[in-house]
Amino acid sequence: MSENPETATGEEAANVSREMLKSFIERIERLEEEKKTVSDDISDVFAEAKGAGFDVKALKEILKIRRQDADQRAEHEAIVDLYLQSLGMIG
């Protein structure tokens, strides 16, 4: 049986395609389960932090900021400061 569905014929191609499809689906299912497990773990850490008195919204904002590159963050902060100044909210 040929391994490449493009060079296989008839039933061989169908079998190879079926096995490839099944493999993709099973891999995606495993990754989805891992993603759910990680998501649940993250939720548990947020709950633990909240229980220790930390503000979860602030933690999420810090995580968002840490994901940004330094130049992006500086540009964003400068724009926010400019807008706040324009609105008279900061000196």
pTM, whole model, 2 decimals? 0.66
Q: Are 15 and 1 in contact (CB under 8 A)?
A: yes
Output b/e per residue, 25-43; b: 16+ Cβ within 10 A: eeeeeeeeeeeeeeeeeee
Residue 76: per-residue pLDDT: 92
**pLDDT of the residue at 10:** 80
Where exactly are the structural domains of the chain?
1-54, 55-91
Amino acid of residue 59: L
Which residue's structure tokens are 């689906």? 25
Q: What is the pLDDT of residue 9?
A: 78
Tens-level pLDDT at each residue, the chain (91 residues)? 445 555 557 888 888 899 999 999 999 999 999 999 999 999 999 999 999 999 999 999 999 999 999 999 999 999 999 999 999 999 7
